[in-house]
């Protein structure tokens, strides 16, 4: 009779890493849908490029490291890294942008540190920052919301632009980005930043087309969609409230403070919360468990740091959006936060 | 402001950090009644069923036991008696599979049970009895904590601090287990009686019986049976609410400080089955010989709550419950969260065994292979000790013992909640167990190393001290030798030796023969006294004195005579072995020292002989003395008197013969004459001795005896040569 012996506990809950990762990926669906709706199918193409590259890179590294490829790939972590980076890349960016970013993210930022769980920095954001610094033009050429676009872009045009840099009719990305008015269009946050440096007030800047609604055309819905996905993650317990709430709360506090002090040169809290990658960053990037602080108190502090950095860089830094920088800088503080935020364990309360 | 006590009275409950809701799987057995298991043919009773020192077997192989009889006595303060759960015969006392995760066999008393069971119950006590008597009964009955830890109950019931809360733990938070539930449903009255015993011993301010709210029937039964002094509290079902520390927090909001025990904050927690057993022991005189065990799992046909004699092998128990072995299975002792997988199915049911699960790998699958920790922090959310399990895991893998201690590894209660929720299937608890063991052994080693270091240093110091002492001794001796060398005219060794011999010779001369005589005389006297005592009665003591005198003298004479004879022989033989007439020159091979010694011995002997001769000549013509002695002796022992006389005569004759022989040789030896002249003048030994203290006499005698022995040895040596 064979008696199977294992250490206790002999019973195990159902959660596993691949489910966690898959749930995070699923929760991006509303956001993806919104992006596709406003910016076209290029989003999907970028995501596919990035996920494919991520899986291939991971498999190659695992092969070199003589690890079991299939079981590790099944943890879905490479998939998620590819997905998150794919979501961050401008929909019509050339294919090699995504490839370079993902290879760097998976190879350098993750596997060279020892693979899943050992990386200090959020791999997707490392890849993003590399791209942003190395290829600033390609990385800031965000598409115009299709509704505002002068041109009707077909799916074949998108494929053509991504892989050959021109459409079937010979247009470049910049041509496509012309609005109906013939003006090149940037993202709302970019526009706001540029306008402010040009001496315009926030009010004058937000009078433009892209601010036609309350937080920037299209972007507000993208942010709401990511917020919905994030709430889903909270609900199923994949992430906990501490980091998103701290990020959003901190950003809200800073932007409110800035807006109250000087409304002409500081965007409204609404713009900050619902433009750019705020919700995406708060729920999907900052909550990456591997690179976030561990204890609940630490998580709160970690989120506050991200929110504050986000606002500071957006307002006073050289970049219109700053999720990636804020998260990477906060990642650096994690060991210290962890050290000082250890909860008081049972029976160790100082009386 | 309300005190904690007010809040407790109001029914306030607190939360502990974390906790999980594993599937309870109690449905199979939660309604089954307690069924007694028939006595198996053999019982295997380990002597170590409790925390602390193993008990000491007090039965031998072959003896008959009665159910309830003591078979192993507790050893030390934290230990517990072991009681025979059945009548029968002790058929073996040997190592046997243990009911322990390690499976290492432990000393086990095997009883072949008889068909008739004679229960040996003790005289029931009552609640009016003395506390000490009740405690003694709990001790005698072998009661230990039946919730799983098996800590000797009597120790816990005699705290050295006043107790505010007595908490009866009936949470039974582990999945599968329903043994306490069944006990409460069916035997609530006995449980309450047991709690009353504990209340009497501890005199707590409040007694709280805590039951998880998933056992409504049990709660109802206990509420009905409990009296006003007890609070029955239904607590939310949340694993591990039944952990001692967590239960205390839920009921009182208090936390047991790290490294302390509940009694330190005025709390005693007892399992409900323990209070049942203690109540039976005290009030019914029934020692602990059986317990309720839940048998469950998908591989048993008749899962249920069974009353099982302690020592029954788990194999027998499972067979009674319709166990169908499959290809691979897990036999879990205890619950699935904190119990252990058995690696030998023959291990016995012990006091702590509250549940046996026989499950297929479908029901309790082995965890999937461990993956990397993604630091999700789920473990931290569920940890009832509010630790950072994932951090501990990293530190444990790094063997970073300082960090582990800093992160309170030793406050981990090993409940398994962290491992239960871990998405990466990391066996966290196992890492902590290993790390704890490593740290403990490291600390032990440190202590040992410290002790070894101290011992080594002490040894080095001692060797150093001895060395200096030795050197000092050597130096002093060398100086003495040098001084001695300088004292002699010529510095060579021979001269020194000669000088020493001379010194010895003169010493020997000074030590006259008389002292030697004295020794012999003393010995003789002692003998005589002994002989006299054997024959005389106490009233004759005055006569004895005289008689003694007489006897001693006789013995003296014999002794001396013998010595002389030896000397004479030596003197006789010496010339034979050599052509020369003179002794000293005749032995040129002998060192001058030896030759001289021999001569001295001869002289002494001669002198003694003469002295004796003179003495005895004097004695001979004194018939009054003899007449005086004779009648007394005749009264007691004519034989002895005769013997003495004969001996005296012989001695005299010998002495004369010797004197004659030696007279020829005597002239060259001046000292002999001198001694001979001196000898008679020497005061009688008794007189001399009377002036000396007994110690001095003794010393003198010893010195003389040694001197004589040396002389004899030398003489013999000479003879051989």
The C-alpha atoms of residue B44 and residue B403 are separated, in whole angstroms, by 44
> Buried b / exposed e across B390-415, counting CB within 10 Å, b at 16+?
bbbbbbbeeeebebbeebbbebbbbb
Arithmetic mean of pLDDT, B411-425:
93
Q: Maximum Cα–Cα distance for chain B, whole Å?
A: 126
Closest CA to A18 of A7, A9, A10, A26: A26
Instruction: Specify the pLDDT at position B518.
Output: 64
Arithmetic mean of pLDDT, A184-207:
72
Q: How far is A320 from chain B (nearest CA, A)?
A: 31
Residues 489 through 548 of chain B touching chain A, CB cutoff 8 Å: none
Cβ–Cβ below 8 Å for B245 and A347? yes
**Winning range, highest mean pLDDT, from B392-406, B590-604, B688-702:** B392-406
Q: Is B173 on the interface with A (CB under 8 A)?
A: no
Arithmetic mean of pLDDT, A34-62:
92
Average pLDDT, chain B: 82
The C-alpha atoms of residue A156 and residue A153 are separated, in whole angstroms, by 8
Instruction: Specify the pLDDT at position B144.
Output: 94
Residues 109 through 128 of chain B touching chain A, CB cutoff 8 Å: none
Q: Give burial (CB, 10 Å; 0-12/13-18/19+) of A286.
A: buried
Chain A residues with beta carbon closer than 8 angstroms to that of B177: none
3-state secondary structure at position B512: coil
Nearest to B425 among A2, A16, A77 (CB): A16
Q: Is B102 on the interface with A (CB under 8 A)?
A: no
Interface test with A, best of B358, B386, B396, B402 (most A CBs within 10 A): B386
The model's pLDDT over B347-374, given as tens digits with 9 standing for 90+, comes to 999 999 999 999 998 899 888 888 889 8
Instruction: Specify the pLDDT at position B283.
Output: 94
What is the percent of chain A where pLDDT is above 70?
90
Nearest to B245 among A15, A292, A346 (CB): A346
pLDDT over 60 (residue B624) = no
The C-alpha atoms of residue B232 and residue B228 are separated, in whole angstroms, by 10
Instruction: Specify the pLDDT at position B453.
Output: 94
Q: How far is A296 from chain B (nearest CA, A)?
A: 9
Instruction: Specify the pLDDT at position B651.
Output: 63
Cβ–Cβ below 8 Å for A345 and B411? yes
- For B350-413, the DSSP string reads -TT--EEEEEETTTSPPPPPP-------HHHHH-TT---HHHHHHHHHHT-HHHHHHTTGGG--
Label residue A212 by pLDDT band (50, 70, 90): low
Give backbone dihedrals phi and psi of B64, rounded to 5 degrees, phi first: -90, 140
Q: Is B341 on the interface with A (CB under 8 A)?
A: yes
User: Per mean pLDDT, which range of A306-320, B295-309, B597-611 is the poorest?
Assistant: B597-611
User: Per mean pLDDT, which range of A300-304, B260-264, B493-497 is the poorest?
Assistant: B493-497
Arithmetic mean of pLDDT, A297-302:
94
The C-alpha atoms of residue A5 and residue B342 are separated, in whole angstroms, by 7
Arithmetic mean of pLDDT, A56-85:
91
Instruction: Specify the pLDDT at position B547.
Output: 64
Minimal Cα distance from A20: which residue of B?
B423
Instruction: Specify the pLDDT at position B631.
Output: 43
Q: Is B595 on the interface with A (CB under 8 A)?
A: no
The model's pLDDT over B462-483, given as tens digits with 9 standing for 90+, comes to 999 999 999 999 999 999 998 8
3-state secondary structure at position B74: coil
Chain B residues with beta carbon closer than 8 angstroms to that of A5: 330, 341-343
Instruction: Specify the pLDDT at position A196.
Output: 77
> Buried b / exposed e across B565-596, counting CB within 10 Å, b at 16+?
bbbbebbeebeeebeeeebbebbeebeebbbb
Q: Which two tokens stand for residue B135?
A: 């405690």
pLDDT over 70 (residue B573) = no
Q: How far is B286 from chain A (nearest CA, A)?
A: 35
Three state DSSP letters for chain A: CEECCCCCCCCCCCCCHHHHHHHHHHHCHHHHHHHHHHHCCHHHHHHHHHHHHHHHHHHHHHHHCCCCHHHHHCCCHHHHHHHHHHHHCCCCCCHHHHHHHHHHHHHHHHHHHCCCCCCCCCHHHHHHHHHHHHCHHHHHCCCCCHHHECCCCCHHHHHHHHHHCCCCCCCCHHHHCEECCCCECCCHHHHHHHHHHCCCCHHHHHCCHHHCCCCCCCHHHHHHHHHHHHHHHHHHCCCCCHHHHHHHHHHHHHHHHHHHHCCCCCCCHHHHHHCCCHHHHHHHHCCCHHHCCCCHHHHHHHHHHHHHHHHHHHHHCCCCCCHHHHHHHHHHHHHHHHHHCCCCCCCCCCC
Cβ–Cβ below 8 Å for A8 and B340? yes
Chain A residues with beta carbon closer than 8 angstroms to that of B390: 294
User: Per mean pLDDT, which range of A106-120, A145-159, B343-357, B685-699 is the poorest?
Assistant: B685-699
pLDDT over 60 (residue B378) = yes
The DSSP symbol for B282 reads I
The C-alpha atoms of residue A14 and residue B420 are separated, in whole angstroms, by 9
What is the percent of chain B where pLDDT is above 90?
56
Instruction: Specify the pLDDT at position A13.
Output: 85
Chain A residues with beta carbon closer than 8 angstroms to that of B376: 20, 289
Number of Cβ within 10 Å of residue B510's Cβ equals: 7
Q: How far is B204 from chain A (nearest CA, A)?
A: 22
Containing B244, the helix (H) or strand (E) segment is helix B244-252
A327: Cβ contacts below 8 Å, ≥ 6 apart: A122, A125, A281, A285, A286, A291, A306
pLDDT over 50 (residue B670) = no
Chain A residues with beta carbon closer than 8 angstroms to that of B381: 240
Cβ–Cβ below 8 Å for A17 and B374? yes
Interface test with B, best of A346, A347, A348, A349 (most B CBs within 10 A): A346
Arithmetic mean of pLDDT, A250-263:
91
Cβ–Cβ below 8 Å for B337 and A338? no
The model's pLDDT over B423-443, given as tens digits with 9 standing for 90+, comes to 999 999 999 999 999 999 999
Instruction: Evaluate whether B273 touches B180 at the Cβ level (below 8 Å).
Output: yes
Interface test with B, best of A81, A345, A349, A350 (most B CBs within 10 A): A345
A&B contacts, CB < 8 Å: 166
Instruction: Specify the pLDDT at position B199.
Output: 95
Residue B26 preceded by cis peptide, ω within 30:
no
Higher pLDDT, residue B529 or B195: B195
Cβ–Cβ below 8 Å for B341 and A11? no
> Buried b / exposed e across A49-61, counting CB within 10 Å, b at 16+?
bbbbbbbbbbbeb
Q: Which two tokens stand for residue B4?
A: 């904690």
Cβ–Cβ below 8 Å for B385 and A345? yes
Q: Give burial (CB, 10 Å; 0-12/13-18/19+) of B436.
A: middle
Instruction: Evaluate whether B200 touches B175 at the Cβ level (below 8 Å).
Output: no
E-only strand ranges, B171-303: 206-212, 230-235, 267-271, 290-296
The model's pLDDT over A157-171, given as tens digits with 9 standing for 90+, comes to 788 888 887 777 777
* C-alpha distances in Å from residue B502, one per residue of A61, B254, B480: 103, 95, 19
Label residue B538 by pLDDT band (50, 70, 90): very low
Instruction: Specify the pLDDT at position B647.
Output: 63
* C-alpha distances in Å from residue A31, one per residue of A19, A77, A200, A225, B676: 20, 19, 31, 5, 138
The C-alpha atoms of residue B604 and residue B587 are separated, in whole angstroms, by 20
Please, what is the Cα angle at B324 between B319 and B329, to 5 degrees? 110
Q: Is B397 on the interface with A (CB under 8 A)?
A: no
Instruction: Specify the pLDDT at position B700.
Output: 67
Cβ–Cβ below 8 Å for A345 and B376? no
Q: Which two tokens stand for residue B420?
A: 């239960």
The model's pLDDT over B137-178, given as tens digits with 9 standing for 90+, comes to 999 999 999 987 889 999 999 998 999 999 999 999 999 999
Closest CA to B131 of B184, B215, B36, B202: B202
pLDDT over 80 (residue B123) = yes
Give backbone dihedrals phi and psi of B254, rounded to 5 degrees, phi first: -85, 150
pLDDT over 80 (residue B541) = no
HSE of A222 in the Cβ direction (CA atoms, 13 Å)? 25
Instruction: Specify the pLDDT at position A99.
Output: 95
The model's pLDDT over B589-609, given as tens digits with 9 standing for 90+, comes to 555 666 676 677 667 767 776
The model's pLDDT over B61-110, given as tens digits with 9 standing for 90+, comes to 999 999 999 999 999 889 999 999 999 999 999 999 998 888 889 999 99
Instruction: Specify the pLDDT at position A5.
Output: 86
pLDDT over 60 (residue B685) = no
Give backbone dihedrals phi and psi of B292, rounded to 5 degrees, phi first: -85, 130
């Amino acid at each position: 009779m064979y008696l199977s012996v294992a250490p206790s506990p002999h019973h195990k809950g159902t959660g596993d890493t691949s489910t966690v990762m898959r749930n995070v990926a699923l929760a991006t669906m509303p956001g993806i849908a919104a992006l596709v709706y406003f910016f076209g199918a290029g989003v999907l193409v970028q995501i596919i490029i990035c996920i494919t590259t991520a899986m291939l890179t991971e498999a190659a590294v695992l092969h070199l490291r003589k690890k079991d490829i299939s079981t590790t790939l099944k943890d879905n972590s490479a998939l998620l890294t590819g997905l998150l980076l794919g979501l961050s890349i401008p929909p019509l960016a050339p294919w090699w942008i995504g490839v370079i970013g993902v290879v760097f993210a998976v190879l350098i930022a993750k596997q060279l540190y020892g693979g899943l769980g050992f990386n200090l920095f959020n791999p997707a954001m490392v890849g993003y920052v590399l791209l942003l610094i190395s290829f600033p033009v390609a990385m800031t050429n965000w598409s115009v919301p299709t509704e505002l676009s002068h041109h009707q872009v077909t799916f074949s045009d998108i494929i053509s632009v991504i892989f050959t840099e021109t459409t079937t009719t010979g247009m470049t990305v910049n041509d496509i980005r012309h609005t109906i008015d013939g003006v090149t269009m940037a993202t709302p946050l970019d526009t706001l930043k540029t306008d402010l440096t040009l001496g315009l007030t926030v009010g004058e800047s937000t009078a433009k087309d892209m601010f036609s609604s309350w937080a920037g055309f299209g972007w507000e819905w993208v942010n709401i969609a990511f917020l919905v996905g994030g709430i889903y993650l909270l609900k199923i317990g994949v992430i906990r409230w501490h980091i998103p709430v701290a990020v959003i709360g901190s950003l809200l506090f800073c932007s409110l403070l800035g807006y109250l002090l000087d409304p002409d040169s500081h965007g409204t809290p609404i713009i900050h919360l619902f433009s750019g990658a705020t919700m995406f960053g708060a729920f999907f990037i900052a909550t990456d468990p591997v690179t976030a602080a561990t204890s609940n108190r630490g998580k709160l502090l970690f989120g506050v740091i991200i929110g504050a950095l986000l606002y500071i860089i957006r307002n006073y830094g050289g970049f219109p959006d700053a999720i990636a920088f804020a998260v990477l800088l906060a990642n650096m503080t994690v060991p210290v936060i962890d050290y000082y935020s250890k909860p008081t364990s049972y029976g160790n309360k100082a009386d | 402001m309300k005190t904690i006590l007010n809040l407790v009275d109001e029914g306030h409950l607190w939360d502990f950090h974390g906790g999980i809701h594993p599937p309870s799987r109690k449905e199979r057995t939660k309604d089954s009644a307690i069924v007694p298991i028939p006595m198996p043919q053999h019982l295997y009773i380990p002597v170590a069923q409790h925390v602390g020192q193993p008990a000491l077997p007090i039965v031998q192989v072959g003896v008959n036991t009665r159910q309830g009889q003591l078979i192993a006595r507790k050893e030390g303060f934290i230990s517990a008696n072991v009681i025979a759960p059945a009548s029968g015969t002790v058929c073996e006392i040997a190592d046997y599979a243990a009911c322990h995760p390690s499976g290492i066999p432990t000393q086990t008393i095997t009883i072949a049970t008889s068909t008739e069971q004679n229960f040996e119950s003790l005289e029931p006590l009552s609640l009016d009895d003395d506390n000490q008597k009740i405690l003694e009964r709990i001790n005698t009955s072998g009661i230990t904590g039946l919730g799983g830890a098996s800590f000797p109950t009597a120790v816990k019931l005699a705290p050295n601090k006043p107790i505010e809360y007595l908490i009866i733990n009936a949470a039974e938070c582990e999945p599968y287990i329903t043994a306490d539930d069944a006990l409460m449903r069916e035997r609530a009255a006995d449980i309450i009686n047991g709690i009353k015993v504990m209340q009497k011993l501890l005199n707590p301010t409040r007694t709280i019986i805590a039951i998880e709210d998933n056992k409504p029937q049990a709660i109802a039964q206990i509420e009905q049976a409990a009296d006003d002094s007890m609070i029955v509290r239904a607590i939310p079902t949340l694993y591990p609410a039944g952990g001692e520390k967590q239960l205390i927090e839920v009921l009182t909001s208090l936390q047991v400080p790290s490294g302390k025990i509940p009694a330190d904050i005025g709390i005693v927690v007892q399992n409900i089955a323990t209070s049942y057993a203690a109540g039976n022991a005290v009030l019914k005189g029934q020692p602990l010989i059986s317990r309720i065990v839940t048998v469950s799992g998908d591989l048993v046909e008749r899962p249920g709550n069974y009353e099982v004699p302690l020592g029954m092998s788990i194999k027998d128990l499972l067979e009674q419950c319709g166990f169908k072995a499959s290809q691979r299975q897990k036999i879990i002792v205890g619950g699935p969260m904190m119990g252990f997988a058995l690696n030998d199915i023959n291990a016995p049911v012990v006091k702590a065994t509250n549940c046996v699960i026989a499950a297929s790998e479908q029901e309790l699958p082995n965890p999937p292979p461990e993956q990397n920790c993604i630091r999700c922090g789920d473990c931290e959310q569920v940890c009832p000790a509010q630790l950072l399990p994932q951090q501990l895991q990293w530190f444990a893998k790094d063997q970073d013992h300082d960090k582990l201690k800093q992160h309170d590894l030793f406050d981990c209660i090993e409940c398994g909640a962290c491992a239960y929720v871990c998405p990466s299937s990391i066996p966290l608890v196992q890492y902590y167990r290993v790390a704890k063991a490593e740290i403990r052994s490291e600390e032990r080693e440190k202590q040992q190393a410290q002790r070894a270091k101290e011992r080594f240093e002490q040894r080095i110091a001692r060797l150093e001290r001895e060395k200096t002492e030795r050197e000092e001794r050597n130096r002093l001796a060398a100086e003495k030798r040098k001084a001695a060398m300088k004292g002699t005219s010529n510095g060579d060794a021979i001269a020194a030796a000669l000088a020493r011999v001379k010194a010895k010779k003169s010493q020997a001369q000074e030590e006259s023969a008389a002292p030697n005589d004295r020794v012999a005389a003393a010995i003789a006297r002692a003998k005589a006294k002994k002989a006299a005592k054997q024959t005389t009665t106490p009233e004759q003591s005055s006569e004895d004195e005289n008689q003694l005198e007489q006897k001693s003298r006789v013995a003296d004479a014999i002794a001396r005579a013998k010595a002389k004879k030896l000397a004479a022989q030596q003197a006789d033989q010496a010339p034979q072995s050599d052509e020369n007439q003179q002794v000293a020159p005749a032995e040129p091979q002998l060192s001058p020292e030896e030759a001289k010694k021999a001569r001295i011995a001869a002289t002494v002997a001669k002198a003694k002989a003469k002295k004796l001769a003179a003495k005895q000549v004097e004695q001979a013509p004194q018939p009054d003395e003899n007449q005086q002695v004779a009648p007394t002796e005749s009264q007691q022992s004519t034989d002895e008197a005769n013997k003495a006389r004969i001996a005296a005569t012989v001695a005299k004759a010998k002495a004369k013969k010797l004197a004659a022989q030696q007279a020829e040789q005597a002239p060259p030896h001046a000292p002999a004459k001198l001694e001979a002249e001196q000898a008679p003048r020497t005061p009688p030994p008794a007189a001399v001795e009377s002036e000396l203290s007994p110690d001095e006499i003794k010393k003198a005698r010893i010195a003389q005896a040694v001197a004589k022995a040396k002389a004899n040895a030398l003489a013999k040596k000479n003879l051989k040569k």
